Amino acid sequence: MTQPNPTHPTPRASTLVTLCRLLGYLRPYKWRFALVIGCLLLANLDSIVNSLYLQILIDKYITPLLGSTTPDYSALLTSVVTMAIIYAVGVLVSFLSELWLIPITMGIMRDIREHMFAHMQSLPLEYFDNNPFGDVMSRYTNDTDNLEMLIGRAFPNIISSLTMIAMALITMFRASWLLSLVSLSVIALMFVATRIILSRSGQYFRSHQQILGDVNAYIEEMISGQKVIKVFAHEAAAKREFAAKNAQLATANRQANTYTNILMPVMFGFSTLQTVVVALVGVLLALHSWGGVTLGLIAAFLQLNRNLSRPINNISQQFNSLIMGLASCSRIFALLDETSEPDEGTVTLVNVRTRDGHLIESSAPTHHWAWKKTDDQGQTDLIPLQGDVRFHHVNFSYEPGKQVLFDVTFFAEPGQKIAFVGHTGAGKTTITNLLNRFYDIDSGEILLDGLNIQDIKKADLRRSLGIVLQETNLFTGSVRDNIVFGAPEASAAQVDQAVTTAHAQDFIAHLPDGLRTPLAGNGQDLSAGQRQLLTIARAAVCDPPVMILDEATSSVDTRSEKYIQAGMDELMRGRTTLIIAHRLSTVRSARAIMVIDGGRIIESGSHDKLLAQKGLYYQLYSGSVELA
């Protein structure tokens, strides 16, 4: 017999691992959950006591009255009141279990969502490159909803049902082992039918959740691309593709629910059969006075039989929620199991002040920074943050075997402006991504102020870099909130200076509430140029020594570009600046221009020097070759 591969756990082992991990989130709530379970057990015990009391009510109080000429109903009334009190206790503890379960469920879901979001912030960009946003969002919406049903409904019901089954079986065998065997024979048939049905449905629920994530990803993509869809009259094709995906989802949904939907009628049929068979056998035993069976015992046993069959039916009803919840739980844990972005750096960025010509670390903000480096002997060295950037023979591949940068070497001294030009896909943006350590190089070395950037903590490295991207990303909040996004401690004067630097003061002054104007939907009420001005102000307020401008002016008109360029010239004064330019007119003043082609620097020099060489830059600048 083939043994399962230990590196690929069997579905059953995987399910057990998932359950154990999920129960770990219950640990902070274990005492409150124990109280809920206690109430469920009391409710089950109450139901068993009621069933047994039914025999006493019939045999001791009702049957004697049938042959009495002077019946006394006081004892019967007392027993009925007692039974009502038992029922009331059951209702109360059931209510308390539901009431106390709600905050436990909501607390666990809050913890899971926070854990997911916190872990997502630690993931490398590569994860988001390879996973559609809609599929990631599906884990926060559909999968967490299914998990909430699993924790808040399926788990408590299954626990309650299993304990009720155990209590009912023990009580039934104590009451009449003959009737118990009759009841169990029908239940055995029920289990066989249930096992056949359930064995065919679990795989379909996992497939359903995966396809649902794909559909959500497609919807998210279509929503974000509505303008392009309409421009190219792609509506009909989009509808056809969605119809195909939706049909696939419907098929998976139908397959997943077919067996679970027929499960309930099958369970109900067996429950009815069980009641009929037990009643018939019980009457025969009572008529022949076998096994001490009485009418009261039959009534109590039928009630116990319902206490047994009802939780079995309940478990079958919860199977849908159980399978979907476990499938969703696996997808959530798959996100949590993604490897966090590694950060082996030890060099940190600290505030410093000068005393007697020496740098001293300061706990208070000074707006002066230095790299704090500690050697193996514990000696600390403070290296001034200046913005000296150097690439030495850098090679890089996004995927093994698909190299995109080849032996890239250049330097930018503090305060210098370096520009990168070339065709789309030549590797210009990749260079700046490597400086931010969004990706790590294959070989070579990148230095910042003489430090290998792999020795610098990533958060501190990125704090030293300001970046303005071609694609603007604004967040829900006020205009000011978006400007101080990277420097929440910025003063009003710093914000005003950043706004002035970006030449955004005029349009902000015309907004309804100025800096307090709320933004939503990525600033959809603003023009593309206005959004870009805000992102430039956002970079300016951080006051970084190194600025990266990735096609920063490509989304604004010529008039706005002049204002922005003037502000940028002021912002770049004294700062190292790396510019990725689409408009070659914006790089004429650069200290050096790097021409990238096929992942290699094929030309470098000043604007005039490159024109004199009459190479690719000359062709791009003169228009004989398109920059695309």
602 token code pair: 């094929």
Q: Identify which has the larger pLDDT, 299 or 624.
A: 299
619 token code pair: 């062709």
Alpha helices in 379-511 (DSSP H): 428-435, 458-463, 479-483, 492-501, 505-509
Q: What is the mean pLDDT of residues 78-90?
A: 83
Could you give the CA distance from residue 447 to residue 240 in angstroms, rounded to a whole number? 51
| Predicted local confidence at residue 222, as pLDDT | 80
Could you give the CA distance from residue 312 to residue 269 in angstroms, rounded to a whole number? 13
Cα dist. 174→86, 171, 301 in Å? 21, 5, 11
Percent of the chain exceeding pLDDT 70 equals 87
| Predicted local confidence at residue 168, as pLDDT | 83
| Predicted local confidence at residue 570, as pLDDT | 67
Q: What is the mean pLDDT of residues 103-119?
A: 92
Q: What is the mean pLDDT of residues 561-573?
A: 67
319 token code pair: 């199977």
Dihedral sign for Cα atoms in the order 15, 20, 26, 32: positive
Burial 319-333 (b: 16+ CB within 10 A, else e): bbbbbbbbbbbbbbb
Cα angle at 212 between 207 and 217, to 5 degrees?
130
Q: Identify which has the larger pLDDT, 114 or 502.
A: 114
**Residues making up the chain, counted from first to last:** 628
Sorted by sequence, the CB contacts under 8 Å of residue 425 that are 6+ apart come out as none
Residue 8: which pLDDT band, with cuts at 50, 70 and 90? very low
Residue 13 predicted with pLDDT over 60: no
Tally the C-alpha atoms within 13 A of residue 127's C-alpha that lie toward its C-beta. Answer: 16
Instruction: Give the best-scoring range by mean pLDDT among 356-360, 398-402, 555-559, 609-613.
Output: 609-613
Residue 6 predicted with pLDDT over 60: no
Count helices and strands in the chain by DSSP H and E runs = 22, 16
| Predicted local confidence at residue 406, as pLDDT | 95
Residue 44: which pLDDT band, with cuts at 50, 70 and 90? confident
| Predicted local confidence at residue 434, as pLDDT | 93
Residue 4: which pLDDT band, with cuts at 50, 70 and 90? very low
Residues 261, 263, 266, 267, Cα dihedral to 10°: -120
Q: Identify which has the larger pLDDT, 530 or 60.
A: 530
| Predicted local confidence at residue 46, as pLDDT | 85
Closest CA to 242 of 134, 94, 121, 164: 134
Q: Which of 145-159, 291-305, 351-365, 495-509 has the lowest mean pLDDT?
A: 291-305
Closest CA to 440 of 453, 425, 451, 427: 453
Cβ atoms of residues 422 and 610 within 8 Å: no
| Predicted local confidence at residue 391, as pLDDT | 96
Please check whether the domain covering 11-336 is classified as CATH 3.90.105.10: no
Q: What is the mean pLDDT of residues 378-403?
A: 91
Q: What is the mean pLDDT of residues 535-545?
A: 86
Residue 12 predicted with pLDDT over 70: no
Could you give the CA distance from residue 75 to residue 77 in angstroms, rounded to a whole number? 5
489-525 pLDDT tens trace: 888 998 998 888 887 888 899 899 999 999 887 788 8
Q: What is the mean pLDDT of residues 170-180?
A: 80
- When the pLDDT of each residue in the chain is averaged and rounded to a whole number, the result is 82
Domain layout of the chain by residue ranges: 11-336, 348-384, 476-541
Q: What is the mean pLDDT of residues 48-58?
A: 77
Residue 461 predicted with pLDDT over 70: yes
Instruction: Give the best-scoring range by mean pLDDT among 2-6, 152-156, 251-255, 270-274.
Output: 152-156
Q: What is the mean pLDDT of residues 43-55?
A: 81
| Predicted local confidence at residue 179, as pLDDT | 80
Residue 206: which pLDDT band, with cuts at 50, 70 and 90? low
Residue 3 predicted with pLDDT over 60: no
Residue 442: which pLDDT band, with cuts at 50, 70 and 90? very high
Q: Which of 172-181, 214-223, 355-364, 568-577 has the lowest mean pLDDT?
A: 568-577
| Predicted local confidence at residue 15, as pLDDT | 76
| Predicted local confidence at residue 66, as pLDDT | 67
Q: What is the Rg, in whole angstroms, of the alpha carbon atoms belonging to the chain?
A: 36
606-625 pLDDT tens trace: 888 999 998 888 888 887 65
Residue 47: which pLDDT band, with cuts at 50, 70 and 90? confident
Residue 7 predicted with pLDDT over 80: no
Residue 627 predicted with pLDDT over 80: no
